[in-house]
Amino acid sequence: MLDAKFFLWPYPGVDLSDAINKISPMLQKSALGIYIDDPSIGGNLAEYIALVCRNWNINPAWVMVSAQREQSTLDTPAADFKRSARAAWLGFVGQDVGRTANPGYYGVYTQVERCCEQTAWLHGTEANGKWPTYVRDAKESHRFYPGVSMNIERNGSPVKYYPKDAGEYVQLKYTPHWAVLDTNKSIAEKFGLLNT
């Protein structure tokens, strides 16, 4: 399982070069490599991820883990990566509800923003004052707090579960299946993302 610290911006100060240098080679080898060097598509994706992650205090490694878990983005060649898969490449379109849940969340760059924004909210890394009242008061968008419960699938059965920390909560909120905890850790280990 990825611990709560994994989700927070791990680089000192505001220098983005460490983050960019870590994720650029991964993206260049991946299905989204075209977004690295072609500014006509929307700018350098590694730079964009670093900027958005820094803005929300989220670790870019979480974006990479999400990309691999949802669409196998990091080890799929560009030629095999369908355009439709890019629309929801991080999976931040809704909790196990398919691709029609939030079509406004589709797109390579939009997915980065949604991933960081929603992770920051669920993890509790941003002060409540930064969020509109309708978001702060929505019953279905609880932030992590000790004692919060959630329904997940464990060993093929639905159970009520109390996450031990914000990291566990974030991982299970969007993929409410116990196995995702091992999956995310395995991805982070495979791509060298645990020590970023």
Q: What is the pLDDT of residue 21?
A: 94
**Phi and psi angles of residue 105, each rounded to the nearest 5 degrees, phi first:** -95, 0
What's the whole-number average pLDDT of the chain? 85
Q: What is the pLDDT of residue 109?
A: 87
Whether the per-residue pLDDT at 120 is higher than 60: the answer is yes
- Number of neighbours of residue 133 by Cβ within 10 angstroms: 8
Percent of the residues in the chain that have a pLDDT greater than 70, as a whole number: 83
Most confident of 10-19, 32-41, 91-100: 10-19
Residue 82 carries which side chain, given as an amino acid letter?
K
Where on the phi/psi map is residue 23: left (φ > 0), alpha (ψ -120 to 50), or beta? Answer: alpha
Whether the per-residue pLDDT at 41 is higher than 70: the answer is no
Kindly report the length of the chain: 196
| CA 121 – CA 43 distance, rounded (Å) | 26
Closest CA to 166 of 12, 6, 29, 31: 6
Whether the per-residue pLDDT at 173 is higher than 60: the answer is yes
Whether the per-residue pLDDT at 139 is higher than 70: the answer is no
Q: Could you state, in order of their start, the residue ranges of all structural domains in the chain?
A: 4-190
- Number of neighbours of residue 103 by Cβ within 10 angstroms: 11
Between 84 and 62, the higher pLDDT residue:
62
Mean pLDDT of 173-194: 94
Whether the per-residue pLDDT at 115 is higher than 70: the answer is yes
Q: What is the pLDDT of residue 15?
A: 81
Query: Of the given ranges (63-67, 83-87, 89-93, 164-168), which has the lowest mean pLDDT?
Result: 83-87
Say what angle helices 45-56 and 60-71 make with each other, to 10 degrees: 120
